[in-house]
Amino acid sequence: MRGILGVLEGEPGGHGDGVTGMGMLRRAAAADLPQVPPVGTRSYWLDQALSADPGKPCPPLTGATDADVCIVGGGFAGLWTAYELTEREPALNVVVLEAAVCGAGGSGANGGLFSSSWVSAGELCRRFGDDAGLRWAIALGDEVGELGRWCERHRADIEFHHEGILYGQAGDWQPEPDVATLALLERRGFGERLRAVDAAEARRVADSPRLSGGVFTPDLATVQPARLARELRRVVLERGVRIYEGSRMVALGDGMPATVETAGGAVRAAQVVLTHGAWAAGEPEFARAFAVGIEHMVVTEPIPELLQEIGWTSHMGLADRREMLFYLRRTDDDRIAIGGGGMAMVYGSGIAGRALGSQRLAALAAHGLVWLFPQLAGVRFAHAWSGPMDMTRSGLPFFQSSVAGNVHAGLGFSGHGLTSTKVGGKILAGLVLATDDEWVHLPVVGPPGSLPPEPLRWPMVRLAEWAFESSDKAAELGRKRPGLAGAVVALMERYAQ
Ligand SMILES: Cc1cc2nc3c(=O)[nH]c(=O)nc-3n(C[C@H](O)[C@H](O)[C@H](O)COP(=O)(O)OP(=O)(O)OC[C@H]3O[C@@H](n4cnc5c(N)ncnc54)[C@H](O)[C@@H]3O)c2cc1C
């Protein structure tokens, strides 16, 4: 998935299905898209996980309390940090402040593709040099198996299936396997982590007539993401971590000790870790560190017979390789969940209190499924939802510490966010405990590249929206992509370097 190379939707300050000229054109196109239910801000996964097991109550913070470490944000990044800290120092007094409930952000809303980044290994090596680029790819790749061991150790049922993913070429405008990346991995002894497949092998994963080949990596697991967030919550609670849900940080005093205030109380902590994801965009320090994109997903009704018909009998993940890729997976209850195809970028930091759902983008994700599998035309979609992503210029997360060394941040998880938040927990635990280990020397430790400030960013991402989406649309229809779109795509790709 791309970094800032996403798209935006609607008017500055909000994002419904826009009423600008571009928005009207889209409405006409939206009429051709499948019907989907109203877009909710709570995902199918989180509803399912909470109704199966709401977990031990974690009431809001009231009054003042002390902690060794206060973590802000109960998504994967915050919870993995709490896990790693207590793994290394079981007696540490750790508090997590979560504005809503653990898993309410992107962590409970995503596609559940616990992925590796081998497919971008060439890009990583160009950015960081071969050794450092490969270290990041290896770190992510190895976490997939490690998550399976974590589930066994903690008896966590998160519907974990370690079966890999096919990045399929679904149209001649989509890139063929990158021979230079494959050769580099072969040379460095990682040839089995990514390999090219032909059309016959691709279609054995799931019989899409669009597939003409692609690349396969075994390093991906599908999970029920909200169950992962809730199981992580359970495990850290069992270790004595105090979690306060419904407790939004409203002020941070970064003295020694630091003070994190909520509406009902305050935590005085020797160290603070900021992992509140896209919401951090509201803080001046991070205003130019990332842009906020709203990603949409839909899930079908249970379709066991249709899954048999298209031969999708494994739990292998699937993605195509368009500009704004579609990513999809089976669920344990025989549905298909799919996301992608477009993204809504938020103006500035304005995610709080706005309607975050775009019916058109949810319908575009649904369109991806019937476009890839015409055999599924007429399939019914049971749920649609959206969630925020914090997207840096490079598409990679960043980790940094304050000059005083007692406030740390791990933000900017977008593509591969499930896996990189797990690695991120190790990095942040290392920064808190001042450990000089392999994790704190990963190349993503350090400040991110700056994005332009608003209002400059808005027209830039709006143009990108049009360029990426119209390129894919034109290619789908067998037309040439508009010349300007090609130029913008090339420019944005250079900008992300
Ligand atoms: C629809 C969608 C599909 C995606 N699909 C995939 C995928 O298949 N694979 C993949 O790898 N990645 C995917 N991602 C990205 C991935 O979900 C994220 O990168 C990851 O979950 C980020 O975790 P996080 O902990 O940083 O943020 P979040 O999960 O957003 O957690 C931040 C938490 O902080 C809380 N918070 C906010 N403000 C405050 C405050 N002031 N005080 C206290 N708490 C606060 C929020 O309520 C939230 O719970 C997807 C994302 C979305 C939205």
Question: Per-residue pLDDT averaged across 404-429, rounded?
Answer: 96
Question: Per-residue pLDDT averaged across 275-294, rounded?
Answer: 93
Q: What percent of the chain has pLDDT over 90?
A: 77
**Does residue 172 have a pLDDT over 50?**
yes
248: Cβ below 6 Å to ligand 1?
yes
- Mean pLDDT (the chain) is 90
77: Cβ below 6 Å to ligand 1?
yes
Q: What pLDDT sits at residue 355?
A: 52
DSSP 415-443: TBHHHHHHHHHHHHHHHHTT--STGGGST
Q: Which of 232, 279, 297 to mutate to test the pocket of ligand 1 (most atoms within 8 A of CB)?
A: 279
Q: Which helix (H) or strand (E) holds 226?
A: helix 225-238
CB contact at 8 A, 442 and 429:
no
CB contact at 8 A, 328 and 450:
no
Question: Per-residue pLDDT averaged across 224-250, rounded?
Answer: 98
Q: How many Å apart are CA 277 and CA 248, to the nearest integer?
A: 13
295: Cβ below 6 Å to ligand 1?
yes
44: Cβ below 6 Å to ligand 1?
no
**Does residue 415 have a pLDDT over 90?**
no
DSSP 353-397: TS----HHHHHHHHHHHHHH-GGGTTPPEEEEEEEEEEE-SSS--
pLDDT tens digits, one per residue of 434-459: 999 999 999 999 999 999 998 988 88
Domain at 39-387+397-441, CATH homologous superfamily:
FAD/NAD(P)-binding domain (3.50.50.60)
Q: How many Å apart are CA 67 and CA 73, to the nearest integer?
A: 16
Of the candidates 325, 425, 369, the residue with the CA atom closest to the CA atom of residue 120: 325
> Which residue's CA is the nearest one to ligand 1's atom 2?
110
98: Cβ below 6 Å to ligand 1?
yes
Of the candidates 464, 462, 486, 463, the residue with the CA atom closest to the CA atom of residue 474: 486
**Does residue 13 have a pLDDT over 70?**
no
Q: What pLDDT sits at residue 11?
A: 28
How far is the centre of ligand 1, averaged over its atoms, from the C-alpha of 294 (Å)?
A: 11
How far is the centre of ligand 1, averaged over its atoms, from the C-alpha of 195 (Å)?
A: 30
pTM over 0.95: no
**Does residue 424 have a pLDDT over 90?**
yes
pLDDT tens digits, one per residue of 289-303: 998 989 999 999 999
147: Cβ below 6 Å to ligand 1?
no
423: Cβ below 6 Å to ligand 1?
no
* Domain map (residue ranges) of the chain: 39-387+397-441
Q: Which of 1, 159, 418 to mutate to test the pocket of ligand 1 (most atoms within 8 A of CB)?
A: 418
How would you classify the pairing of strands 242-244 and 94-97?
Answer: parallel
Question: Per-residue pLDDT averaged across 269-288, rounded?
Answer: 95
Q: Which helix (H) or strand (E) holds 180?
A: helix 179-187
CB contact at 8 A, 361 and 25:
no
- State the pLDDT confidence band at 196, using cuts at 50, 70 and 90: very high
Q: What pLDDT sits at residue 477?
A: 86
Q: Report residue 287: phi and psi, to 5°.
A: -60, -30
| Atom of ligand 1 at shortest range from CA of 97 | 43
Of the listed ranges 76-85, 364-373, 460-469, the least confidently predicted one is 460-469
**Inter-CA distances, 78 with 32, 105, 157, 164, 201, Å:** 41, 11, 20, 26, 39
3: Cβ below 6 Å to ligand 1?
no
**Does residue 8 have a pLDDT over 50?**
no
Question: Per-residue pLDDT averaged across 346-362, rounded?
Answer: 76
Q: How many Å apart are CA 262 and CA 124, to the nearest integer?
A: 39
pLDDT tens digits, one per residue of 308-339: 999 999 999 999 999 889 999 999 999 999 99
164: Cβ below 6 Å to ligand 1?
no
Would you say the C-alpha torsion 72, 76, 77, 79 has a positive or negative sign?
positive
